[in-house]
Amino acid sequence: MLIFYQSASSVIYAVKLKETLLDGDNEKLLWLFGNANRLNDSKISGVFVGPRKEMITPWSTNAVEITQNMGIPDVERIERFFPVEDGKEPVFDKMLQRVYNGLDENVFEISKQPDPVVYIDDMRAYNQKEGLALSEEEIVYLENLGKQLGRKLTDSEVFGFSQVNSEHCRHKIFGGTFIIDGVEKEKSLFQLIKDTSSANPRGIVSAYKDNVAFLEGHTSEQFAPANPAEPSEFEIKDVETVLSMKAETHNFPTTVEPFNGAATGSGGEIRDRMAGGKGSFPIAGTAVYMTSYPRLEENSGNKEPLADHLNGREWERRIDERKWLYQTPVEILIKASNGASDFGNKFGQPLINGSLLTFEHFENGDKYGFDKVIMQAGGVGYANKFACLKKKPQPDQPVVVLGGDNYRIGMGGGAVSSVATGQYKNDIELNAVQRSNPEMQKRVYNALRGISELDYNPIVSVHDHGAGGHLNCLSELVEETGGTIEIDKLPIGDKTLSSKEIIGNESQERMGLVIEPKYVDLLKKIADRERAPMYVVGKTTGDMVFKFVNPDKTTPINLKLEDFFGKPPKTIMRDKTVKKTYGEVKYSDDKFADYLPEVLQIEAVACKDWLTNKVDRSVTGKVARQQTVGQIQLPLADLGAVTIDYTGKRGMATVWVMHLLRR
């Protein structure tokens, strides 16, 4: 049953019911929708922008829970549909929304049936069609694997191999062999990175073998409920801690869809800090952005002639702005910083620091710049020291998933991130971007934290659902034992998903864990109290086989773990040195007063409040002092100061230029 309500602003609320409204329920919904009117028509004319039929929005999930808390038991789904003015072109998010020409009782109905399991005949054609970024060596490996098994590989197996062995998940380029000018390098990029901790391991508890790195911490105060499964008093006690540190890039998604790309970059990095050891706790985050020149003044919408003091931005006018593939640098910066800030605010982690670098250069016929944007999310947190290292799963231990439903979201993100942006069709690249749901992630975190703060932590191992979804997360959980996952136990939001899409999507902020069997009921009580969906989806086996099983006993994935990701061909990259020469930097000491305003306008130097100060920096509570607030007092004997008032199109800014005085 479907009922429509219309608000004073003409927004249509579509309410899907299991049965019918009880006495008084209609009045509650009228109040909830802001004294809206209930429409008696089953068909509503006009053009509307609304969510895709197949995907229940995070807004709907929260709205339905509100109705349940109000005592309206039969509401299944609520979605908003926004009217489009006559003659106006609809503006909407193509990944999340669609245009509806009229609304009726079938607005949520879907006729598509799930695609069957596909057995791959032509590996190369399938690789190109699906954008799997498999190398020729990997294709040959999979072809030979099929011959060894005496059968064709399934679409889920090939897709899964591409995700778990992608650059994002397995660092096949960073860990590959470089041959430069015919000489093989002694170390991979990853080995060079690890050299730092090898040379100076002081304070490192765990590095390069978990979702985060842990450093030695100190005794800290834990403020937690005595029993997280029921209403109880909070207790304060001292615990030995380790500090967690993490940074990861989300470049491709932020280039393609800045808001959700950066939001899920921050969200994924937070999940990594949740998945350290047997459960750890995020504290604060950072965000770094690098783009080509954003040409802020030209893209501001203000067509007035630029002020005299802005004519110095000739470094941007020196290079013609290219035709951008998806969005312009200024759109990326604004939307990406909105996304990262939005996720932190809704999840409850302050974004306290950040950086911005813009760059383009044209010389000798070559043009350089951050064409594929760099977005790096980072952060710090902590864990109880006794639970900072994972245990090895044993046979017959439950595999649990915490989090939301499966949707056709984030398909193939790990593989697509391994190639240049724009190499594949737009629909492949757009389909590979995850959508953010920070409220769901917060619920999952609360459940995970509740059981992780107990005196005894019964979690054996925990991983987050990043690129590759269940494929990557669950395979990592059972990597040392093997495991069987029952597909019908996984939560399905979109009934049209194929087996490959169910097990490979990246949606709805989820965590996977192996837990000691006798503690499953306790975790379920905590999860229910925190409104975090929880599912026991399989178990560890001890046979070193990774298997997904359908109710009809078909197995979309049935491979030995060593075949699935244990023996991929090593990536070999050949390159040669190209010598470049550039003109000398020319400047005059007597033009310092001219140079200074120009330098202060460069995004890497100028104030970044418009990117960084869109967050609640004390959202976690117990903050001693707001970040980025206040002035540092230094002895005047050591410090001199010059103030320069600079008036730009975005208002007045007073810049302090500090310099040490020689004694």
Q: Which residue has the tokens 């773990």?
A: 561
Token pair 């099929």 is at which residue? 146
Residue for token pair 């008036």: 647
- Any idea which of 203-217, 338-352, 357-371, 640-654 has the lowest mean pLDDT? 640-654
Q: Give residue 62's pLDDT band: very low, low, confident or very high (50, 70, 90).
A: confident
pLDDT at 383: 96
Listing DSSP states for 7-64 in one string gives -TT-PEEEEEESS-PPTTHHHHHHHHTTSPEEE--S-EEEEEEEE-TT---HHHHHHH
Determine contact, residues 576/181, Cβ cutoff 8 Å: yes
pLDDT single digits (tens) 372-420: 789 999 999 999 999 999 999 999 999 999 998 888 776 644 333 444 4
Distance of CA 628 to the CA centre of its chain: 26
Task: Tell me which DSSP letter residue 332 carries.
Answer: H
> Higher model confidence: residue 646 or residue 135?
135
Residue 494's pLDDT is: 82
**pLDDT score at 298:** 63
Pairing of strands 351-358, 360-363: unpaired
Query: What is the reported pLDDT for 505?
Result: 85
Question: What was the pLDDT predicted at 621?
Answer: 65
For the stretch 227-258, pLDDT in tens is 999 999 999 999 999 999 999 888 888 888 88
Q: Which amino acid is at 528?
A: D
Our measurement of the distance from residue 473's CA atom to the centroid of its chain's CA atoms, rounded to an integer in Å, reads: 15
pLDDT of 156 strictly over 50: yes
Query: Looking at the predicted structure, is the pLDDT value of residue 292 above 60?
Result: yes
SS3 574: strand
Beta strands 351-358; 281-291: pairing state: parallel
The pLDDT confidence band at residue 643, using thresholds 50, 70 and 90, is very low
Residue 73 scores a pLDDT above 60: yes
d(CA 53, CA 97): 9
The pair phi, psi for residue 573, each rounded to 5°, is -120, 130
Q: What are the backbone angles phi and psi of residue 4, rounded to the nearest 5°?
A: -110, 140
Q: For residues 517, 520, 522 and 527, what is the CA-based torsion angle, rounded to 10 degrees?
A: 160
Assigned token pair, 15: 């309410």
Q: Name the most confidently modeled range: 286-290, 367-371, 372-376.
A: 286-290
Least confident among 311-315, 318-322, 489-493: 311-315
Handedness of CA 152, 156, 159, 165 (dihedral sign): negative
Residue 646 has pLDDT above 90, yes or no: no
Average pLDDT over residues 574-579: 92
Domain boundaries, the chain: 2-103, 163-566
* Torsion over CA: 424, 430, 431, 434 (sign): positive
Report DSSP state, residue 387: G
Type and span of the H or E element at 444? helix 438-452
Q: What is the CATH number assigned to the segment(s) 163-566?
A: 3.90.650.10
3-state secondary structure of 662: coil
Contacts of 89 (CB under 8 A, 6+ apart): none
β 572-575/534-540 pair status: unpaired
